[in-house]
Amino acid sequence: MGHASGAADPRRRAPARRAPRGDGRPRARGGGAVGHAGGHRDADRGGARGLLFNRRFLPAVLAQEARLSRQHGSQFGVLMIDIDHFKRINDALGHHAGDSVLASVAGVLMQHVRASDFVFRYGGEEFLVILGEISPTDLLARAEVIRAAVEAFRYADVGTRVTVSVGGALYDGHPDYERTVRMADELLYEAKRAGRNRVAVTPA
């Protein structure tokens, strides 16, 4: 069971910004390829704030973060974020409102991550955030900041509040680094079972 906190059917997909063409890796806003070698941790990672990445770049970023975590003796975190009752929004207000909510939630996420973090459109009403070099305490705090920010945002096309459930997991050094995503997904559903608009993260 994870640590929990908080207050509580895919349709159409809002477009995700694709990384620039080049060597096939996502690039930071300044143009440097993600994973570019350098002597400093932040230089290694680059910065991606303000970019919404397509899911197809996720394996490359996960591999990079696993490598950097082993290299620096640190952990990276994964947050899986799902918009609560999104199907109801689509059914009651139409796909235009649903698409507007997706775009607004993406904007809120990108405003509340660090410059070196990565935000992905994962599919349907789900987003995924990768946070490099983060502690268990900070992972929980960041997840709660995101949850609260989404709830507080005023959505122009929706006459009710919008909330998200968040599951968070830390990379534990296992060779199968993609299992961190699976762990975050399991914790997301733990948050939903607890009543939605909740955060559930892996224990310290």
Residues labelled as active-site residues: 125
Torsion, CA 9, CA 189, CA 48, CA 77, rounded to 10: -160
Q: How far apart are CA 183 and CA 204, in angstroms?
A: 14
Whose tokens are 């914790």? That residue is: 187
Residue closest to 144 by CA, chosen among 166, 122, 176, 128? 166
Q: How far apart are CA 51 and CA 78, in angstroms?
A: 17
Q: What angle do CA 8, 6, 10 make, to 5 degrees?
A: 40
Residue closest to 75 by CA, chosen among 150, 139, 161, 167? 139
Residue closest to 175 by CA, chosen among 79, 66, 75, 73? 66
Task: Tell me how far CA of residue 59 lies from CA of 37, 54, 55, 131, 135, in angstroms.
Answer: 18, 11, 8, 14, 22
